Structure 1
Amino acid sequence: MTYIITPTPGKSPAALGGKAKALASLQGASLPIPPWFVVSPTAFQDSLTAAGHAALSAGNPAEVLIALQLLSPAEPVCLAVAAALTRLCPQGELVAVRSSALDEDGNEHSFAGQLDSFLFVSPTDVAKQIAAVWRSGFHERVLAYRREKCLTPLPAPPAVLIQRMVSADVAGVAFSADPVSGRRGVAVVSGVFGLGTSLVSGECDADTWRVDRNGTIVEVELADKETAHRADPETGEGVRSTVIAPEDAKKPCLSDGQVREVAALARSAASHFGRPQDIEWAIEGDRLHLLQSRPITSLAALPDPDGELNIWDNSNIAESYGGVTTPLTFSFARHIYEEVYRQFCRIMAVPKKAIVANERIFPRMLGLVRGRVYYNLLNWYRLLALLPGFTTNRRFMEQMMGVKEGIPDEILTEALATCKVGRMQDAFNLSRSLGGLVLNQLGLQKNIDRFYARMNRALAPPNPPLEELRPDELVAHYRMLEEQLLTRWDAPLVNDFFAMVFYGLLRKVMATWCGDGNETLQNDLLSGEGGIISAEPAKRVREMAEVVAEDEALTELLATGDVPRSHAASIAHPALGPLYQGYLARFGDRCLDELKLESATLLDDPSPLLCSVGEFARRIRSGRALAPFDETALRQVAQLKVRVALAGHPLRRILLTWILKQARARVRDRENLRFERTRLFGRVRRIFVELGKRFAADGILAEARDIFALEKEEIFGFVEGTASGTDLRGLAALRQAEFLRWQSAEPPSDRFDTRGMVNHAQTCRSTNPTPAVPQGESLQGLGCCPGLVRGRARVITDPRGAVIREGEILVAERTDPGWIMLFPACCGLLVERGSLLSHSAIVAREMGIPAVVSLAGITAWLKDGDWVELDGASGQVRKLDQTEVPADAE
């Protein structure tokens, strides 16, 4: 029977245990390891008594500890150990007797300090200490550690490491990476005079150095070292504590050269194992020894603070991609942003050389963090920095791009190092860009007309229809859309830019020339423009409701939510049928979260539309439906204020008239061109839905909707033969499980930083304090539809399946076109975000619903059932006390 295992190049049997296995591997890499051998676990088994075997078989820890009290190595084991010691210590040198358990010093569990070790052991006492190490492997502290880490109750018997003793002048530990801060590029060296046991036991503070990758000592902390451990074979553990002379206590225990040598040794161990290491080292004379090496397990939970900084913000993008977003939607959206903003740079006359040099910016405009879409904010700034005029107009550009919270200058300077241009060059680029913008402005309307024509051609009903196309034909159809539209989004981009410019100019001149400190006058001037498609759905819902209200039975049928019967009755109705089908044909792709491809549209489920029409019809029948608000009244009052303010300033009036004309046209076209985006996304959604059906029919996916768990290029690659993996069913299942976890987990903050790997060891929590809930009994917002109403608050975060009861006021953080189905039932509307031009404001005015927007924190300030009063003209919102609540209120 083999009881002794000696180091063999290229071989590290499992029986060596964790500690010795690491030493064997490092010795093979020619690192300075003191000579050693191992007593295998077989020696333990062959030394057990019958009672010991029985206790281990029973698996009772208490019985095992009793059975091992008198354990000593069997005679064959003693003979084998004696022979090995003769070879290891021919002059009778002292040795260290240490544990090397199977689980010890592993990648997940270190068992540091759990098992006993003995130093300066004479060859004659080795057998006794081997038995002591065996017993320590089953000590209560080890068993408690195993329970804490959810390991098996009883450990495997430990191997025992016998190593020639190093009588250290200086010793300590070193980490190839900083285990506290997580800095992977900084090694930490800690040392004490004498043996390292004084450091490990905590009896003595250590000198500590931090060394960067260039070997530069970047930080030194010298301790007051009062004691040192020295050899004393007469003690149980082989060491004793000695007093350090006062004049030496504060001297560094290592020279700078030795510090670098130890740091290099730790990094060599890390390089050998391919992961950061925690080593024990000792210096005897002028020779450095490596005594032990194990992984730094704590680093797995720490990001590297020296890693690349990313700042994530969803303050705007969450309105388009709220909550957990599927891989298909994200991959599509990311590609859209990449292409659109590359085009934007070309339109803004950014030099081609600069675009190429900063190519990595464009694919990283968006990120997906724990299933949620965020702006990669520093890349947006890098994009802004490419635009001519950024060095002198940064704040204005931030405002135009909707950046709510700026980036500190010191961070921005570093982030923009590769994008920065000199002021002279920037001025030249700006002059060239302005010339191009003038041409774009002059030809914008023709460009928009051409865009609409191209859009209509590309989105014409395909022949044969999508339902009949093969997968390769569906992919080809998408590629056509990409070529015709996605990479030629010029008109909406230019119009959006000028909408921001002229809206900003209008706000500026209103504040400067007309004294509009509240910054609302420009919104009033833009009201009542007409021709904005965002208002059309509300008009059509009202028109259908007026038809339905003439029939009590049909009104109740639609309002109750019986979709099959409601749908059939609506189509069959001679007056309602054409209106209903016309609405679906025009706005069937509008839905909640309409930019998320996985969202069900009205074509998939018309119930929100049918219920909305039914509820509105109920209000008409009961006489509670208000007439549409005439937005021109706001506009006329605002125009009168402007005429008074600019009386006697003819040049200002001329300039303002031109700015206002441009702002009205650009804002109108901005809303209408965004609807074209909805049309495009609707067609793309149907392409992928059809691909899902084909994949499910052929067994490629389990269900058709599993297509949304795949990325765009994975789907196309499967069809076109460029995919690196073909198990789409398995991939979809894996993704769905992950996204279910994200849905149930706490979402990341709206804004947070990451360092290094974005999806590893990050808290994703904001370092800024959470905004306080508004206090007091009233809030001031932006009134956007006049009317004074009182009612119960209904706070809704997800409109799917939500019900608004008669007399309730809808309270929401934001709304999109899908929310319109809830509007007819409410008597008032309160929205946390928004402006007079936001979707909620436009629809509220069309439906005659008193509304206030831009109410920061209102979804936290109010809770379901609170009685509240809103004034849609002044923007004042007030909680009602008990005396103001109607007596008949439930």
Structure 2
Amino acid sequence: MRTIEATPLASAAAHHGGKAAGLSALLTAGFPVPPGVVFDAAPLASAPAIAAAAVDAARENGWRSVAVRSSSKGEDGVTSSGAGEFETVLNVPGDDVEAMTSAVDTVLASIGENGGVIVQQMVAAEAAGVVFTIDPVTGATFIIVNAVSGLGDALVSGAETPWETRIPRAVDGSVRSADIVADDGPIDRAALRELIRLALAAEDARHGPQDIEWAVADGVVWLLQSRPVTALAEQVPVEVVVPPGYWVRDPTHGRLPRTRMTASVIDEDRAVRPMVVEFGMLATFSGARIGGWHYVTIVPVGAPPPAPGKSPPRLPGWLVSLLIRGSREGRRQLRAARRAMKTDAAQRLLDEWNDRRREELRAGILSFQDVDLGGLDDAELADQLRERAGTLIRSTELHFRLAMPYSIGIFQLVDFCRAQIGWSAEETLDLLSGLADVASEPGRALAALAAMPPGSAERADAFEQFQRYFGCRALDIEVAEPTLAESPHLLNVLIDAARQAGSVDAEQAQAEARARVAARARARLRPARRAEFERLLATAERVYGLRDDNVFLTIDAPLAVVRYAALEVGRRLAARGTLDLPEDVFHLTPEEAAAALGSRDPLTDIRDGAQRERGERAWAIAHPGPISYGIDPGAPPRFTGLTRAERTPTEAEMLMGELIMPRVTADSTGQDGVLRGTPASAGRVTGTARIVHSEADFHVLEPGDIVVCPGTRPSWSVIFPMIGGLVADAGGSLSHPAIIAREYGIPAVVAAVGATDAIRDGEVITVDGGEGTIRRHAFPPRR
């Protein structure tokens, strides 16, 4: 057996492979790297010979246990990392020749005679993981830390979902100390701060963003590997072409530009058509991708195309009605509206939802969850992805159709109270506060979970049921974003926060408040009008919870099951070299991904297309467009020349638009320094402001905090049992944050434009949900 020479890791050369060279560079620069040696895997090298030399090195250095790692020449390079292609064997006894030989043989089999074999002192990790100094998917300027308790192999192999924190970086690349939070994570704040310091230093030393494996043992942070972030989206500029007209971007229905897959399955233009035809809508919205971002505009029936750079003429309602009657398309829509109102199509659709469609969708979602995607062959998996995508496309159409029972039911009550009592829409909505049970159901389930004894079988069963029924939901309208079920550490944070917050039962108080508002309404009505009021109130009460129930079962849960199938497809395509990363599958359509799975050869055009889409999305994220383009045409006219039946469906949707996303033209800060917005949920609270841009920030919340955010979605309901108040940049009286805040009796202000920029994280503020104001107070010392 030929004698093999052990080279100190700090002296590793290029022929020892990329990983050894990277660790050598870190050691030379003074970074904390576990000591080790490297062996050349050149021809004639054998596992027994390397193992014998490795045991000698371990005995000489006193390493009781070692890690045996690959170091291929193609590993950890500037253009390709080779992550997942090579082997590492942990906890190999340092004096056991047989075990060492087996480990070396495993590593050699993965790299061949091309590179080196690293043998390092084993770190008895209390926590381990990876840190990226830039978002590896979008290129956004965040530090992303993933961590698990114990050794990091469970994370790298995908066997365990890690705790994650995303820490923003300033323009100069630095990180604020206040943004480094380790609540409920397997790594404490001191170790996290040191890890981030080392990661930034490694990025500087190695001249570019780094993907670093790390471990913590006895409070010491060790770097186990540092490689360039490969497959990083190189920004591909997108031509910004603005169509004529007035276009608005809605941040509450998608935080970021949509991926190609999301845009293919959530197509509002396509999905809204059945509702427009069935209910005779006289105006509808149309979407456009401008600079990578999704914008919408309102398109009136029969209106001529807008002229570039010009505002459409403001026409009186009677003339608009006359023009509609004069067009063939307009007359067709008027007939459909009369038919829908005469046959009570909205009520029939609501009954169909309650009697059949809701449970059919729920059963379908549970059935999809029970499929073992990893156990399917390629053809079966492709069929699953196609079937799930088709289900989502159809359920999105149902989502918009179900908007009509909700819109008409609320509109008719608001219209009645405005005409007969003189109440605003916001005053009328107090008649319904607390009736959207579906919006608060996940939060109540979470609170019940928190009250159960930790470690009990009852709690374990309840956690599993929560994951099954509420975890399978998208947290944003984006298939590339993790679902709640994929974020168990986030759930643990929320459960702990719910336990600290204790139970809050506002149901009785809300019922009493509704009764008082209804009594005031009845007292102001003429006796002849009271029966009509009772009928309209009963209808509004029946439909009030429909919107969030609808969103969960027609959008969020179907989007989640599409994601699960797409990810499995992405893993297989990445393993074959068709994609650089499993997540690149989201830059394909479901049909493209399914078709690629049917090819046994890597498809260069598929990979190149996904790279281009990823680069364009990265550019769009780095270059967000304005909230609107074009000249605001102002409020739409009232259709005074049409019958009530002809105009009701359209006016109902117009009211929903005003109450969900009102027109906002100026910053919310007045001359007195007080921020103003739309009152959303009555009450007054003073507390600590927490800036929450997305679900990834939930872990920073503590009981009683006031959430300040761009906007929320129904999936955010899980945080409401623990927070003290809410401020949103966008939204109206019937936006998701407003509805959920009223369910929990939490003071809330929405449409407070610029609040997330004006208010600093940790600042003390007072929110008055009745006045619609936010007052800023002293800023406490940083923790």
For the aligned pair, the TM-score class normalised by the smaller chain equals 0.5 to 0.7
Give 3-state SS (helix, strand or coil) of 1:325's partner.
coil
Identify if the C-alpha distance between structure 1 residues 368 and 348 changes in structure 2 by more than 3 Å, giving closer, same or farther. same
Identify if the C-alpha distance between structure 1 residues 428 and 818 changes in structure 2 by more than 3 Å, giving closer, same or farther. closer
Shift of 1:614: 0.7
2:450 is matched with which residue: 525, 545, 562?
545
- Which one-letter code corresponds to 2:545 in the other structure? R
Alpha-carbon distance between aligned partners in 1 of 2:567 and 2:712, rounded to the nearest angstrom? 26
Q: How does 1:657-676 map to 2 (within 5 A)?
A: 657-676=534-553
Q: Summarize deviations over 1:352-406 as a string: whole Å, max 9, x none.
A: xx9xxxxxx99x933333332222x1xx40xx416xxx99xxxxxxxxxxxxxx9
- Which one-letter code corresponds to 1:408 in the other structure? P
The answer to whether the 8 Å contact 1:447/1:491 transfers is: no
Give 3-state SS (helix, strand or coil) of 2:367's partner.
coil
- Per the alignment, residue 574 of structure 1 pairs with 457
- Per the alignment, residue 341 of structure 1 pairs with 272
Q: Summarize deviations over 1:799-844 as a string: whole Å, max 9, x none.
A: 4245135654222221124444554554332233344544334444
Alpha-carbon distance between aligned partners in 2 of 1:301 and 1:642, rounded to the nearest angstrom? 54
The answer to whether the 8 Å contact 1:545/1:616 transfers is: yes
The answer to whether the 8 Å contact 1:330/1:373 transfers is: no
- Which one-letter code corresponds to 1:633 in the other structure? E
1:640 is matched with which residue: 508, 519, 525?
519
1:840 is matched with which residue: 723, 731, 737?
737
- Per the alignment, residue 533 of structure 1 pairs with 438
Shift of 1:720: 6.8
Give 3-state SS (helix, strand or coil) of 2:761's partner.
coil
Q: How does 1:227-242 map to 2 (within 5 A)?
A: none
The answer to whether the 8 Å contact 1:524/1:638 transfers is: yes
- Which one-letter code corresponds to 1:367 in the other structure? A
Shift of 1:586: 0.7
1:524 is matched with which residue: 412, 417, 430?
430
- Per the alignment, residue 711 of structure 2 pairs with 814
The answer to whether the 8 Å contact 2:385/2:565 transfers is: yes
Identify if the C-alpha distance between structure 1 residues 872 and 501 changes in structure 2 by more than 3 Å, giving closer, same or farther. same
Give 3-state SS (helix, strand or coil) of 2:457's partner.
coil
Q: How does 1:364-443 map to 2 (within 5 A)?
A: 365-375=286-296, 377=297, 380-381=298-299, 384-385=300-301, 408-409=312-313, 422=326, 426-427=330-331, 429-439=333-343, 440-443=345-348
Matched, 1:515 2:422: yes
Shift of 1:734: 2.8
Shift of 1:503: 1.9
Give 3-state SS (helix, strand or coil) of 1:368's partner.
strand
- Per the alignment, residue 600 of structure 1 pairs with 482
2:495 is matched with which residue: 599, 606, 613?
613
Q: Summarize deviations over 1:90-136 as a string: whole Å, max 9, x none.
A: xxxxxxxxxxxxxxxxxxxxxxxxxxxxxxxxxxxxxxxxxxxxxxx
- Which one-letter code corresponds to 1:443 in the other structure? R
Give 3-state SS (helix, strand or coil) of 2:418's partner.
helix
The answer to whether the 8 Å contact 1:444/1:491 transfers is: no
* Unaligned runs of at least 5 residues, structure 1: 1-299, 355-360, 392-405, 549-553, 555-571, 755-767
- Which one-letter code corresponds to 2:575 in the other structure? A
The answer to whether the 8 Å contact 1:628/1:845 transfers is: no
The answer to whether the 8 Å contact 1:539/1:847 transfers is: no
Give 3-state SS (helix, strand or coil) of 2:584's partner.
helix
Alpha-carbon distance between aligned partners in 1 of 2:668 and 2:497, rounded to the nearest angstrom? 37
Shift of 1:690: 1.9
- Per the alignment, residue 476 of structure 1 pairs with 383
Matched, 1:695 2:573: yes
Identify if the C-alpha distance between structure 1 residues 586 and 712 changes in structure 2 by more than 3 Å, giving closer, same or farther. same
The answer to whether the 8 Å contact 2:258/2:293 transfers is: yes
- Per the alignment, residue 653 of structure 1 pairs with 530
Q: Summarize deviations over 1:188-215 as a string: whole Å, max 9, x none.
A: xxxxxxxxxxxxxxxxxxxxxxxxxxxx
Identify if the C-alpha distance between structure 1 residues 411 and 525 changes in structure 2 by more than 3 Å, giving closer, same or farther. closer
Identify if the C-alpha distance between structure 1 residues 732 and 324 changes in structure 2 by more than 3 Å, giving closer, same or farther. same
- Per the alignment, residue 323 of structure 1 pairs with 256
Shift of 1:655: 1.9
Shift of 1:587: 1.0
Alpha-carbon distance between aligned partners in 2 of 1:301 and 1:827, rounded to the nearest angstrom? 41
Alpha-carbon distance between aligned partners in 1 of 2:331 and 2:406, rounded to the nearest angstrom? 23
The answer to whether the 8 Å contact 2:690/2:701 transfers is: yes
The answer to whether the 8 Å contact 1:311/1:753 transfers is: yes
Q: Summarize deviations over 1:243-271 as a string: whole Å, max 9, x none.
A: xxxxxxxxxxxxxxxxxxxxxxxxxxxxx
Q: Summarize deviations over 1:264-305 as a string: whole Å, max 9, x none.
A: xxxxxxxxxxxxxxxxxxxxxxxxxxxxxxxxxxxx99999x
- Which one-letter code corresponds to 1:320 in the other structure? H
Identify if the C-alpha distance between structure 1 residues 575 and 845 changes in structure 2 by more than 3 Å, giving closer, same or farther. farther
Identify if the C-alpha distance between structure 1 residues 600 and 441 changes in structure 2 by more than 3 Å, giving closer, same or farther. closer
Alpha-carbon distance between aligned partners in 2 of 1:432 and 1:782, rounded to the nearest angstrom? 35
Identify if the C-alpha distance between structure 1 residues 660 and 411 changes in structure 2 by more than 3 Å, giving closer, same or farther. closer
- Per the alignment, residue 590 of structure 1 pairs with 473
Shift of 1:847: 4.6
Identify if the C-alpha distance between structure 1 residues 488 and 825 changes in structure 2 by more than 3 Å, giving closer, same or farther. closer
- Which one-letter code corresponds to 1:477 in the other structure? Q
Give 3-state SS (helix, strand or coil) of 1:365's partner.
strand
Identify if the C-alpha distance between structure 1 residues 485 and 798 changes in structure 2 by more than 3 Å, giving closer, same or farther. closer
Q: Summarize deviations over 1:502-546 as a string: whole Å, max 9, x none.
A: 322222222221122x4322211112325x311101111211222
- Which one-letter code corresponds to 2:409 in the other structure? F
Q: Summarize deviations over 1:415-442 as a string: whole Å, max 9, x none.
A: x9xx976168745652343224432235
Identify if the C-alpha distance between structure 1 residues 700 and 310 changes in structure 2 by more than 3 Å, giving closer, same or farther. farther
Identify if the C-alpha distance between structure 1 residues 847 and 411 changes in structure 2 by more than 3 Å, giving closer, same or farther. closer
The answer to whether the 8 Å contact 1:781/1:855 transfers is: yes
Q: Summarize deviations over 1:726-763 as a string: whole Å, max 9, x none.
A: 52223222332333233233x11011149xxxxxxxxx
The answer to whether the 8 Å contact 2:266/2:393 transfers is: no
Shift of 1:604: 1.6
Shift of 1:676: 0.9
Shift of 1:610: 0.9
The answer to whether the 8 Å contact 2:682/2:747 transfers is: yes
Q: Which has the higher contact order (CA 8 A, sep 6+)?
A: 2
Alpha-carbon distance between aligned partners in 1 of 2:522 and 2:695, rounded to the nearest angstrom? 43
Alpha-carbon distance between aligned partners in 2 of 1:454 and 1:827, rounded to the nearest angstrom? 37
Shift of 1:483: 5.5
The answer to whether the 8 Å contact 1:627/1:848 transfers is: no
Shift of 1:496: 0.9
Identify if the C-alpha distance between structure 1 residues 843 and 501 changes in structure 2 by more than 3 Å, giving closer, same or farther. closer
Alpha-carbon distance between aligned partners in 2 of 1:851 and 1:495, rounded to the nearest angstrom? 27
2:692 is matched with which residue: 796, 814, 830?
796
Matched, 1:332 2:295: no
Alpha-carbon distance between aligned partners in 1 of 2:430 and 2:382, rounded to the nearest angstrom? 46
Identify if the C-alpha distance between structure 1 residues 507 and 683 changes in structure 2 by more than 3 Å, giving closer, same or farther. same
- Which one-letter code corresponds to 2:276 in the other structure? C
Shift of 1:457: 5.5
The answer to whether the 8 Å contact 1:466/1:474 transfers is: yes
- Per the alignment, residue 28 of structure 1 pairs with none
Shift of 1:688: 1.2
Shift of 1:645: 0.9
Alpha-carbon distance between aligned partners in 2 of 1:425 and 1:873, rounded to the nearest angstrom? 44
- Which one-letter code corresponds to 1:813 in the other structure? P
Q: Kindly, what percent of the aligned residue pairs are identical?
A: 22
Alpha-carbon distance between aligned partners in 2 of 1:488 and 1:681, rounded to the nearest angstrom? 10
- Which one-letter code corresponds to 2:404 in the other structure? F
The answer to whether the 8 Å contact 2:447/2:495 transfers is: yes
Identify if the C-alpha distance between structure 1 residues 804 and 493 changes in structure 2 by more than 3 Å, giving closer, same or farther. closer
Give 3-state SS (helix, strand or coil) of 2:766's partner.
strand
* Unaligned runs of at least 5 residues, structure 2: 1-236, 305-309, 632-663
Alpha-carbon distance between aligned partners in 2 of 1:720 and 1:348, rounded to the nearest angstrom? 42
- Which one-letter code corresponds to 1:459 in the other structure? I
The answer to whether the 8 Å contact 1:791/1:869 transfers is: yes
The answer to whether the 8 Å contact 2:690/2:706 transfers is: yes
Give 3-state SS (helix, strand or coil) of 1:434's partner.
helix
Identify if the C-alpha distance between structure 1 residues 488 and 673 changes in structure 2 by more than 3 Å, giving closer, same or farther. closer
Identify if the C-alpha distance between structure 1 residues 735 and 467 changes in structure 2 by more than 3 Å, giving closer, same or farther. same
Bigger-Rg structure (1/2): 1
Q: Summarize deviations over 1:849-871 as a string: whole Å, max 9, x none.
A: 44333434433443334432233
Shift of 1:584: 0.6
